[in-house]
Amino acid sequence: MRRNGIVPIVTSSGIDDCHDESRVAGPGVVTGRYGTIGRVFYITDDFWPLNTTLYIRDFHGNDPLFIFYFLQTIDFATHSGKSGVPGVNRNDLHQVSVRLPTSLEEQRAIALALSDADELVESLERLIVKKRRIKQGAMQDLLTGKRRLPGFEGEWETRTLGELGRCTRGVSFDPSTDLLAIASQDSVALLRAQNVRQRILNFEDVLHVADRRVSQAQRLVSGDIVICMANGSKALVGKSAVFQGTRLGLFTIGAFMALFRPNGEAGHPRLVPYLFQSHIFRAHIDVLLAGSSINNLTPGNVESCEFNVPKCQSEQTAIATVLSDMDSEIAALESKLTKARRIKQGMMQQLLTGRIRLV
């Protein structure tokens, strides 16, 4: 197969490449037959579906966009392998009984409402990506002195992270005796790599470890930076998030993690977390892990990373404030995105079951 041209090649995971000729006239709806099962894709133009997919090109008089949304309510996994063949069998799907509006006008009204909701979600997603890129560019400029904030002209100096704080490795424990299913008076909540998402700590899926295993230095305090020190993926080693303190109780970190506690002597505590997000720190990690089959950092590896920082702490504070304001803007947009996704999901549950009628 020659992969060029403008015709989308659709796999069970979505559009993967382009071809110079089509097999199916659009619009069409595609879902996975093998591989990724359950995702549904709406293709507006002519397309080339791979043999890992099932597709619809004859909608029997129904609105194609409505069918796209309607199929998202079907649990394809329950129809996987019913005929003894791995994957989704279209003959099994053909036997599924469904209820849907017979009026094309109502179908189109539902599809339009859900399409508008999708557009809001997608516009917020695009804006968040744009804001993150802007912030990354600002970090690159501000944390290297390439761009100076108005009113600051003082000298910068080279500092290692070891001069700005201390890195402490996480708790080692015996899973068979030290892990607890639920919290107790003798346990501490345990954060792991999966709790660090998009530079924010997520407190879902938290384990609990016996208190006797946790030293005082391994107990998180507000302002500590939680770092992933070991992972099967090099790209995930070094990801970090700031622990802001929580009312949920005491927290510590697992053996593949570390905490970095700024000392506030040479670097402002609000600035230090952004050093861990910088290209400089990422490049430092990439050099350390290059050629190694073990993706594992030591506290010394972290503390040896060098940065140029302003001598003047007021300039450090000003830089941190600019970046923090950007973070706040991104967080507000992410909150809107979460709300928009929930609203869209609620609309689907109401409109595609007939609980709410638009026509």
Q: Does domain 116-152+312-359 have CATH number 1.10.1740.110?
A: no
Q: What is the mean pLDDT of the chain?
A: 91
How many Cβ atoms sit within 10 Å of the Cβ of residue 239? 20
* pLDDT surpasses 90 at 98: no
Q: Which is it for the CA torsion 102, 108, 111, 117, positive or negative? A: negative
pTM of the model: 0.83
Question: Which pLDDT score, from 0 to 100, does residue 84 have?
Answer: 53
Question: Which pLDDT score, from 0 to 100, does residue 287 have?
Answer: 94
271: Cβ contacts below 8 Å, ≥ 6 apart: 309, 316, 317, 319, 320
% of the chain with per-residue pLDDT over 90: 68
Question: Which pLDDT score, from 0 to 100, does residue 184 have?
Answer: 87
Q: How far apart are CA 132 and CA 88, in angstroms?
A: 38
Q: Cβ(21)–Cβ(48) under 8 Å?
A: yes
Mean pLDDT in residue range 139-156: 94
- Topology given in CATH for the domain delimited by 155-307: Adenine-n6-DNA-methyltransferase TaqI; Chain A, domain 2 (3.90.220)
* pLDDT surpasses 80 at 310: yes
Domains 7-100 and 116-152+312-359 are alike in CATH topology: no
Mean pLDDT in residue range 272-299: 92
Give the bridge partners for 310, in sequence order: 156
Question: Which pLDDT score, from 0 to 100, does residue 162 have?
Answer: 96
Confidence of residue 236 (pLDDT cuts 50, 70, 90): very high
Mean pLDDT in residue range 136-156: 94
Q: Which tokens go with 160? A: 């290692």
Instruction: Select from 76, 32, 72 the least CA-distant residue to 51.
Output: 32
Q: Roughly how many angstroms between the first and final C-alpha of the chain, as a whole number?
A: 46
34: Cβ contacts below 8 Å, ≥ 6 apart: 12, 52, 86, 87, 88
- Topology given in CATH for the domain delimited by 7-100: Adenine-n6-DNA-methyltransferase TaqI; Chain A, domain 2 (3.90.220)
Distances (CA, A) of 131 to 262, 273, 297, 358: 27, 19, 30, 36
Question: Which pLDDT score, from 0 to 100, does residue 191 have?
Answer: 95
Question: Which pLDDT score, from 0 to 100, does residue 86 have?
Answer: 62
Question: Which pLDDT score, from 0 to 100, does residue 83 have?
Answer: 53
Q: Cβ(34)–Cβ(87) under 8 Å?
A: yes
Q: How far apart are CA 220 and CA 240, in angstroms?
A: 14
Q: How far apart are CA 280 and CA 304, in angstroms?
A: 12
Instruction: Indicate the length of the chain as a whole number.
Output: 359
Q: Cβ(55)–Cβ(39) under 8 Å?
A: no
* pLDDT surpasses 90 at 93: no
Q: Cβ(71)–Cβ(31) under 8 Å?
A: yes
Instruction: Select from 197, 174, 194, 178 the least CA-distant residue to 186.
Output: 178
In tens, the pLDDT along 156-212 reads: 999 999 999 999 999 999 988 999 878 888 999 999 999 998 888 999 889 999 999
- Where exactly are the structural domains of the chain? 7-100, 116-152+312-359, 155-307
* pLDDT surpasses 50 at 1: no
